[in-house]
Amino acid sequence: MGIANYIKEIGRGHEGARSLDPEQAADLMGQVLDGQASDLEVGAFALAMRIKGETVDELLGFAQAAEARCQAFDSDRPVVVMPSYNGARRLPNLAPLLAMRLAQEGARVLVHGQPHDPDRVTSAEIFQALGLPPVDGPAGVHERWQRRVPAFVTTGSLSPPLQRLLDVRRVVGLRNSGHTIAKLLKPVNGAPVLRLASHTHPEFGKLMAQFSERSGADLMLLRGTEGEAVADPRRCPKMDTWLGGLWQIDLSCQAQEGVLTELPLLPRQIDAATVAVYIQGVLAGEKPGPAPLERQVGLLMRALARLASRSPRVLRA
């Protein structure tokens, strides 16, 4: 079968490339994930999409194909799903703190991502330092939820085919559409999924807003802290929340303006062990949590309550 015809459409450069509709995109991604494309074709697909950039239609199709090939966990309550694929290079990675605070407030939290990165401190490493190693099946996920702590699952456990696509980066040296799609997974059955999504460029933020509306998503979008979907501890970013694809004005907030007068108390080192000790101190009430992160926790908990009630008060942008 092959994907050569699709590559001809998307591989004509930034100006000449043609976009795929959702059905074509789902077929293309399905063939890539099912191993029906050659290594050369997969490399060509990765580079072509990197140059062209994804459209909303293509994201919808890619996500549909990826979800069909992803393990899912049953839940009778809404679940916060946090992708964690970037880690930290300069600032402490506080994505695990966000997950732990949400769980402390009673939320079910599922975090997924890569276990290691040679250049960054990953959430998986911090969870490991907190005594919460990755789980790889429903029993492990539900055990963590019963203990009111987050469950971390590696991408390789969720979807081996998607992990293989992510591994193409090691060969070509660039991220590909698989990294975008991994961050849009919602591996939960039976309950609403409130996903966290981040962006670093305004154009991608606009694309994610369009995706949220078109797909009817329950999703919070914010400018990421080194790529992680957690509020910058120094200055609250703009955060937008959609429920059922409709923007929620009272579950969103504007970016903090003005000059910072006070910096939060943060760990001086960013290694996993040091950050884990800091997180434990915040959870125990011995240290103050960053105000922007606490605001994010509050918005997410209110969104979960609204999803649970199934009677959201919706206002459009």
9 burial (CB, 10 Å; 0-12 / 13-18 / 19+) is middle
Structure confidence at residue 172 (pLDDT): 83
What CA–CA distance (Å, rounded) separates 171 from 228? Answer: 24
What CA–CA distance (Å, rounded) separates 300 from 241? Answer: 9
Q: Where are the domains of the chain?
A: 4-68, 74-309
pTM of the model: 0.93
For 74-309, the fitting CATH number among 3.40.1030.10, 3.40.50.880, 3.40.50.720, 3.90.1150.10 is: 3.40.1030.10
Structure confidence at residue 314 (pLDDT): 40
CATH T-level assignment (fold) for domain 4-68: 1.20.970
Q: Which of 87, 85, 154 is nearest to 120 (CA)?
A: 87
**Residue 203 is encoded by which pair of tokens?**
């154009």
Q: Which residues of 219-244 are buried (b: 16+ CB within 10 A; e: fewer)?
A: bbbbbbbbbbbbbbbbbbbebbbbbe
Structure confidence at residue 175 (pLDDT): 87
pLDDT averaged over 10-residue windows placed end to end, the chain, 317 residues: 88 84 97 94 92 95 97 97 94 97 98 93 98 96 98 97 93 89 96 96 93 97 95 95 97 85 83 97 95 97 94 40
